[in-house]
A = this chain, B = another copy of it.
Amino acid sequence: MSGSGVRGTVTMHDVAAAAGVSVKTVSNVVNDYPHIRPATREKVQKAIDELGYRMNLSARSLRQGRTGIIGLALPELSLPYFAELADSVIRAAEARGVVVLIEQTGADRQHELDVLTSDRRQLTDGLIFSPLELGPDDADALKVDYPLVVLGERIFGGDWDHVTMNNVDAARAATQHLIDQGRRRIAVIGAHAGETMGSAALRVLGYQAALAANGIPLDPALIVEGGLWHRATGADCVARLVESGVEFDAIFGLNDALALGALHALHARGIDVPDPVAVIGFDDIEDAAYTSPTLSSISPGREQIAQEAVDLLLARIAGGGDPYRRVIADFTVVPRESTGV
């Protein structure tokens, strides 16, 4: 009866006793230590099976100083892009034998700072961090003493690994796509006024570059501010755009949630898509393929980002003092009905 059904009761000692070996030998077996006599291994395995032994991971963590858990800090899972990113990160982690602890920062600056120094960092071997509010001034806060991989381009050049995409080029490509469809009065929604390094600023830069490359004058009235990149913000941006009376024949949503909100607001006002107004988003979330009309977007290579991030983090955890790396994921333009393709 001993231990059967009672959680965590069977220890290596029990297995060792049952198999007539020492605990070290049991440890060797469960850890696939190379030099074990087959007969010994078999004997131990038999005892393990019969007793239903499960390793106590807390004990192992204490001893090794590692938990086998990695942290993933992101704004919120109810934003489809981050839900899909989390999905990919969890899959990548599972394939590599680690599990993922998710923390939501709610796009709150203080919360983003807290997550870096939280007690929970004790529980994880490293952190994949996708900040939304921290900026260049917070670089010091990111100088932490555990393995860290930062997603996005908000903060450059620190002592940590970085996985991002080329926001400028991708936004330029999105804008160029609209221009290629004959659009000249292209509004961009979700801009962040004071920002210089965030995704918003970089994507607006790409937008401006595309206009310039095509000799299209930049009209500041077409750049619409919008804080949180939620659907509601996108709808609100379009409302303000329409009320302002400025003419436009296309909208570039700085992410898909904004673009979805835009589609909704345009529909509510009886403005058809793609004519007279074309719409493109950014992120290529699953929704984009199912809206009416379907939403053109930029696919940021989410799977690649997730895998690179996990690989970099695990390499860092494994202890390489390698130079910090900066991985730039590929993107592609995904044309759909909302841009008339």
Contact = CB atoms under 8 A, between A and B. Distances in A.
Contact of A101 (B6, B54, B56, B101): B101
A101 B103 contact: no
A46 interface: no
A86 B61 contact: no
This chain's copy number in the assembly? 2
A239 interface: no
A62 B67 contact: no
A264 B235 contact: no
Contacts of A305: none
Interface in A69-110: 69, 76-78, 80, 83-84, 86-87, 90-91, 94, 99-104
Given A57-B123, A102-B90, A260-B290, A6 B84 contact: no
A241 B91 CA distance: 35
A146 B7 contact: yes
A103 B104 CA distance: 16
A61 B63 CA distance: 12
Contacts of A6: 145
Interface string A250-269: 00000000001101100100
A76 B69 contact: no
A59 interface: yes
B231 A290 contact: yes
A195 interface: no
A7 to B, nearest CB: 5
Interchain residue pairs A-B with the least CB separation, the first 8: A83-B83, A58-B61, A267-B292, A77-B87, A58-B62, A57-B122, A264-B290, A78-B87
10 contacts: A8-B65, A77-B86, A78-B87, A78-B286, A99-B101, A100-B101, A100-B102, A102-B102, A231-B289, A263-B290
